Structure 1
Amino acid sequence: MLKKNNSTPLYNQLVDVLIEHIKTNLDIDEKMLSEREICLKYDVSRTTVRAALNELEEMGYIFKRHGKGTFVSGLWKEMQNLSEAYSFTEQMKQLGKIPHSQVLSLEYIVANQDLAKNVGIQEGEHVYKMKRLRSADGMPMMYETTFIPAYLFPDLTISKLESMPLYELYPQVYNQDIKYADEEFYASVLQAKESEELGLPAGSACLRIRRTTYSQENKIIEYTLSVARGDQFVYKIRHSKK
């Protein structure tokens, strides 16, 4: 049951409980509990229920049919574990390539207003700024700039970053489990510094990716700006018709 005195917000607890309910009791396209049923079963307000259901819909566990109610989606079964789906290392291994990540730099900086907003902190707080070059079979594939809030990852060092993949470091060393990540991407061309790192002429086609990764507590644990070479990197997305 939900713990109302717990520091974890009620709707976050409810999301986890409902995910377990879906996985263990319901089939794809089966009707989900109504808002009223959830309110009564878990003794929570309608506002809390709606917040939880909205998040479940965004995560691919449920979908709504106008005038008919809420149903279980099969999309979540198609999703890989986040540590795999968002892992360059695992993605390259699946393609039969040998991945390598090189940490080019790590800085401890003060966040300006724009960066603070993107990392979910206050202006003037500290973040780690990391630059990495991701390669496969010795070929540079992606140049990344990652911002990590310092308050969640104290004493972060290059040696720690090089000791294991980043999405293993988060939970294993800092107890920060990934819940989900939002991404935006668009076609572009390489700037001078980027072309130098990727070994391509300036102006070459590239894919720009902006990712915001969230913890189980819905805190931003990473904000990454990536540039992937357009002649080698393929970005696959599956859209599911509801």
Structure 2
Amino acid sequence: MLNKDSRIALYYQLMDIILNDIEVGNLKENTKLPSERDFCEKFKISRATVRQAIAELEKNKIIYKIQGKGTFIAPKKLDQPLIKFYSFTEEMIKLGKNPTSQILDFSIINCDERISNTLNLDILSKVYKLVRIRLIDDLPTMYETTYLPTSIFPNLTLDILKEKPLYTILKENYNIKFLKAEESFFPILPTEEEASFLNVSTYDPSIKIQRVTFSSEYIIEFTESIVRGDKFKYKVILDADNSTF
């Protein structure tokens, strides 16, 4: 219950109660939050106090509103630890999610200077360009553009890409053994096109991830992903055993 004698503001105490109910599972993802009247009657507080708590939770994307239907609990951010090479599809399955992809474009292009430098190819070498929307439980979460050298992956087709995840294709169809990947992260605002496909606004913070993937012999992939900032958080594990202090 709320402590009206406390120096902690009532709206903040209400926020804490709601957050705790979410944490322990009393309020589950995408379920409807009790109405303002319900909160007022249960805690004997004003509607203004309830609205302030709701506004703060919405600002922090803990909840979301649907016009005419009410206020709902937002899905938790997916926690992606960065400690080893990972596959988006495999990691989402481990979390109990249903990952899918929609292919927006698949074509062969001449790589420009940036792509040739990244993939260690001659300028104007042929590369596949694969543009996808990555979805989790049917929710768009990532706008992804991948470049693959045609010389390493001959005869890759759209039909093959529709059959199974990309990394599975590279392993099974081309006997690729992944050595490592290097990733760089940048805070950005999405473009109009990216925002449209991700169902966000151009003012919603996002994360740009650049990944370069290596096999024992080649650089095999360059991928740029625009990730919804409200759906993902990335965690780096720092090992004290290898520290310099």
Q: Establish whether TM, by shorter chain, passes 0.5.
A: yes
Say whether 1:114 aligns with 2:114. Answer: yes
- Contact 2:83/2:236 (<8 A) preserved: no
Deviation at 1:79, TM superposition (A): 4.9
Distance 1:114 1:97 in 2: 35
2:236 aligns to what? 237
Say whether 1:216 aligns with 2:207. Answer: no
Structure 1-normalised TM-score? 0.63
Distance 2:83 2:226 in 1: 24
1:128 aligns to what? 128
1:30 aligns to what? none
The one-letter code sitting in structure 2 at the alignment partner of 1:118 is T
Q: Deviations over 1:76-128 (max 9, x none)?
A: xx955x3xx2x111221222211111111101001122211111110021000
Distance 1:111 1:158 in 2: 19
Structure 2-normalised TM-score? 0.63
RCO greater where, 1 or 2, for CA within 8 Å and sep 6 or more?
2
Structure number with greater Rg is 2
The runs of 5 or more residues in structure 1 that have no matched partner are 1-77
Say whether 1:228 aligns with 2:227. Answer: yes
- Contact 1:191/1:203 (<8 A) preserved: no
Q: Deviations over 1:8-37 (max 9, x none)?
A: xxxxxxxxxxxxxxxxxxxxxxxxxxxxxx
What is the RMSD of the two structures over their aligned residues, measured on CA atoms?
1.4
2:152 aligns to what? 152
Q: Deviations over 1:104-157 (max 9, x none)?
A: 110100112221111111002100001011001110010100000110001111
1:203 aligns to what? 203
- Contact 2:83/2:237 (<8 A) preserved: no
The one-letter code sitting in structure 2 at the alignment partner of 1:226 is S
Distance 1:98 1:156 in 2: 25
Distance 1:149 1:155 in 2: 11
1:57 aligns to what? none
Deviation at 1:210, TM superposition (A): 0.2
Q: Deviations over 1:52-87 (max 9, x none)?
A: xxxxxxxxxxxxxxxxxxxxxxxxxx955x3xx2x1
2:97 aligns to what? 97
Distance 1:176 1:90 in 2: 17
- Contact 1:143/1:197 (<8 A) preserved: yes
The runs of 5 or more residues in structure 2 that have no matched partner are 1-81
- Contact 2:135/2:141 (<8 A) preserved: yes
Distance 2:238 2:162 in 1: 34
Q: Deviations over 1:178-215 (max 9, x none)?
A: 11000000211111111011011112110110000001
- Contact 1:211/1:223 (<8 A) preserved: yes
Where does 1:33-48 land on structure 2 (aligned, <5 Å)?
none
- Contact 1:102/1:133 (<8 A) preserved: yes
Give the match's secondary structure for 1:118: helix
Distance 2:113 2:183 in 1: 21
